[in-house]
Amino acid sequence: MSIRIESLKGFLGLALSLLCLGSTLAQGKSSPPEKVLRYAFPIAETGFDPAQLSDLYSRIVTANIFDALYGYDYLARPVKVRPNVALGMPEISDDFRSYKVRIKPGIYFADDPVFGGKKRELTAQDFVYSYKRIFDPKTKSPSYSDLDEEKMIGLAELRDHAEKPGANFDYDTEVEGIRALDRYTIQFKLELTRPRFIYQLADAGIYGVVAREVVEAYGDKIMEHPVGTGPFKLDRWVRSSKMTFTRNPNFREEFYDAEPAADDAPSQDIFRRLRGKRLPLLDRVEISVIEENQPRWLSFLSADQDLLERLPNAFAYQAIPNNKLAPNLAKKHISMERTPSPDVTVSYFNMEDPVVGGYTPEKVALRRAIALAYNSEDEIRLPRRNQAIPAQGPMQPMTYGYDPKFKTEMSEFSRAKAVALLEMYGYVDKDGDGWRDLPDGSPLVLEYATTPDASSRELNEIWKKNLSAVGIRIEFKFGKWPEQLKSARAGKLMMWGLGYSASNPDGSGALALGYGPSLGETNLSRFKNVDYDKLYRQQSLMADGSERLMVMQQAVKILVAYMPYKFSTHRILTDMMQPWLIGYRRHPVAREFWKYVDIDTSKLPK
């Protein structure tokens, strides 16, 4: 019995030794550390359904979950469209009215219970459905007016029928404007010449492809259930707080490739380091929503964030004195990149509002006086810490149509002219309380929508100081950004300030801010002008060149004259990267950068 016990002890000792040896070997061959990109949004997301989005930060997410037919070379400057899930560039007719695209076979959606455990391949019909969704009135897509301008034959009629009482949008009716010719081939046919239609095929944030069965299964909850073919998928979501995304295991075989300019040393260096590596390079992306500037900045300084997009202006003087990286940051091997942003900051007037809206001379005079009384240089010098330049109109830097030499009255600051206009049209203090009244004697009180964060408070102070100086009372209506956007689209705000970023390299997107059919969508001011709409349509049909530029500038002058918007600045953005973040460069218009960046885990803080 004792012999048996000793033998058992020996056996157990041998087994334990082998187990320890196996554990040691396993540790020697363990998987490499997970590569995680951590950064923060300054504004909360609204959801993850491409067709229902208009805000920048939600579209950044959808651009990395969903696929468009085309995309942009990440490093090429000037920007260059390249195939994404398309098999080569489109076949385009000579009159730019027909576009035929073949997609790559063997591309699959991320797994979802809706698919019943089967792999779901991407087909041409998925794109047909996804573009039709934007025309469905029930989707309430803010991208509808932009896509409607492309005049895909038959889609307007489908929408008109769906808008009749009791009717639904008929997805199964084939229309000439967008058809699946076979499983992998899509054809677009347009009523008019559209030389830049390809940009509508290259924005995954807005025109990302979805599966019909997913949309129908989740219904009103589709904003919470993004299922795409892109490199990442949603893992966890705490609304307006934190989002986590993981690598999509079904993502196709794709490798890093780019065409950086020969004289672009930073891009050339990135290309040498990452060329040929399989995408995506990250395992996970974690995004926090940190609306206040200071905690977002401190989170980056403490290395809790790998990337700080858009250095808060409040810290510009200490982080980039004289626009150079501060020595204390350089010692930490933090890097920076400053780029002009293809955006414009605006304050809009609701043209249907009884106080600031309207087209009669006294209403135009009021808006022009407010614009003249507002000093954009104060905004640039104080809240923006000299990280912006004055805007002359809606056209954004780095987009076609922007001319840095083009000047208008939009950037003019003159209290004398403002007061003269107000006096001329009867905006005087009639009750002796120190504030100007409307011509009919009722109080003149402006209500400006804003958000409860430090940056907005600084901008509010500029508005209050400048308008008080000419005797105009202004009050501020606070609310979270998603709620303000919802109210703005419904026409419920008198005034609101926000920024518009270009989603493609052409300036016509900025001109859509004043286009009548975009009312309540891109055109939050609800501006309507027959001559402006005519010019807008005219330039959209023209090939690029001096004649088109002249038409675009004529349209801008109408916006300046009627002043539905006060265009204030174009921002200069500074992004900061920790030393272990590899490959980040801000693209002028593309949002889908997650798959192109890497984390050097050997440099992570211990």
Three-state SS across 164-175? CCCCCCCCCCCE
Q: Is residue 93 part of a domain?
A: yes
- HSE of 89, CA atoms in CB hemisphere, 13 A: 9
Q: What is the DSSP letter of 525?
A: T
**pLDDT value at residue 92:** 98
Q: Is residue 596 part of a domain?
A: no
411 and 554 in a single domain? The answer is yes
User: Distance between CA 93 and CA 96 in Å, rounded?
Assistant: 5
Q: Which two tokens stand for residue 330?
A: 């350089």
**CA distances in angstroms from 72 to 40, 202, 379, listed in the order given:** 24, 7, 33
Q: Which two tokens stand for residue 526?
A: 């609800």
Based on its alpha-carbon atoms, the radius of gyration of the chain, rounded to whole angstroms, reads: 27
pLDDT tens digits for range 76-93? 999 999 999 999 999 999
Q: What is the average per-residue pLDDT within 481-494? A: 95
Q: Is residue 186 part of a domain?
A: yes
Last residue in a domain, options 198, 230, 262? 230
521 and 388 in a single domain? The answer is yes
User: Distance between CA 349 and CA 525 in Å, rounded?
Assistant: 6
**Residue 20 — φ and ψ, nearest 5°?**
-65, -40
* SS3 per-residue string spanning 326-347: CHHHHHCCCEEEEEECCEEEEE
Place of tokens 């070997």: 25
**Residue 24 — φ and ψ, nearest 5°?**
-65, -45
Q: Which two tokens stand for residue 460?
A: 């509010």
Q: What is the average per-residue pLDDT within 3-28? A: 44
Q: Is residue 388 part of a domain?
A: yes
Tell me, what CATH number does 69's domain have? 3.90.76.10
Between 14 and 90, the higher pLDDT residue:
90
Tell me, what CATH number does 459's domain have? 3.10.105.10
Q: What is the DSSP letter of 471?
A: T
350 and 208 in a single domain? The answer is no
Q: Is residue 337 part of a domain?
A: no
218 and 348 in a single domain? The answer is no
Q: Which residues are registered as beta bridge partners of 500?
A: 344
Q: Is residue 208 part of a domain?
A: yes
Decide: residue 315, CB within 10 A, 0-12 exposed, 13-18 middle, 19+ buried. buried
pLDDT tens digits for range 165-217? 999 999 999 999 999 999 999 999 999 999 999 999 999 999 999 999 999 99
User: Distance between CA 286 and CA 414 in Å, rounded?
Assistant: 47
Last residue in a domain, options 199, 230, 261? 230
**pLDDT value at residue 22:** 52
Banded pLDDT at 1 (limits 50, 70, 90): very low
For residue 528, the tally of other CB atoms under 10 A from its CB is: 18
pLDDT tens digits for range 539-578? 999 999 999 999 999 999 999 999 999 999 999 999 999 9
Under 8 Å between Cβ of 147 and 201: no
Total of domains in the chain: 2
Q: What is the average per-residue pLDDT within 340-358? A: 97
518 and 392 in a single domain? The answer is yes
Under 8 Å between Cβ of 175 and 165: no
What's the domain range around 187?
54-230
Under 8 Å between Cβ of 506 and 199: yes
Last residue in a domain, options 214, 230, 246? 230
Q: What is the DSSP letter of 406?
A: -
Nearest to 253 by CA among 229, 274, 218: 229
220 and 352 in a single domain? The answer is no
Contacts of 517 (CB under 8 A, 6+ apart): 145, 148, 149, 533
- pLDDT at residue 233 tops 60: yes
Percent of the chain clearing pLDDT 90 (strictly above):
92
Q: Phi-psi category of 258—alpha, beta or left, where left has phi over 0 and alpha has psi -120 to 50?
A: beta
83 and 208 in a single domain? The answer is yes
Banded pLDDT at 29 (limits 50, 70, 90): low
Q: Is residue 472 part of a domain?
A: yes
User: Distance between CA 109 and CA 458 in Å, rounded?
Assistant: 45
423 and 557 in a single domain? The answer is yes
Q: Is residue 273 part of a domain?
A: no
